[in-house]
Amino acid sequence: ETGVTQTPRHLVMGMTNKKSLKCEQHLGHNAMYWYKQSAKKPLELMFVYSLEERVENNSVPSRFSPECPNSSHLFLHLHTLQPEDSALYLCASSRREFTEAFFGQGTRLTVV
């Protein structure tokens, strides 16, 4: 148990669906991240929030929409995804930006 909890653990969605991924951390950290992990590729940073403000957005398609309502919660809203968006989506948190990171268990997303 890392103190970072992601739900759901698995998600299958059609290309026209709208769904959300949730991340919650109980570590008192100020920075939270979304990463995408595809097979045989390094982790790709998607979004960074520091003190609830987005500080990094790595050219992610607009069909991915993050939300950080407070320093403990992070959401990733999904709509009109493509099959190539199927991947493991990982949430992480750290005390400050890019200090030691703690990851959740991930959400395995399959787009059909």
Q: How far apart are CA 27 and CA 37, in angstroms?
A: 23
Contact flag: residue 90 with other proteins (CB under 8 A): yes
Q: Which stretch in 60-68, 69-77, 78-86, 99-107 sits in contact with other proteins by CB under 8 A?
A: 99-107
Rule CB under 8 A: is residue 104 a binding residue for other proteins?
Answer: yes
The yes or no reply on residue 13 touching other proteins (CB under 8 A) is no
Q: Which is nearer to other proteins, 82 or 99 (CB)?
A: 99
CA–centroid distance for 94 within its chain = 14
Please state the closest distance from residue 21 (CB atom) to other proteins, in A.
13
Tell me how far apart the alpha carbons of residues 3 and 65 are, in angstroms, rounded to a whole number: 24
Q: If 0-12 CB within 10 Å is exposed, 13-18 middle and 19+ buried, where does residue 24 land?
A: middle
Span 20-79, contacts to other proteins by CB under 8 A:
33, 40-43, 45, 56
Separation of alpha carbons 97 and 33, rounded Å:
9
Q: Which residues bind other proteins (CB under 8 A)?
A: 2, 4, 6, 33, 40-43, 45, 56, 88, 90, 92, 97-106, 108
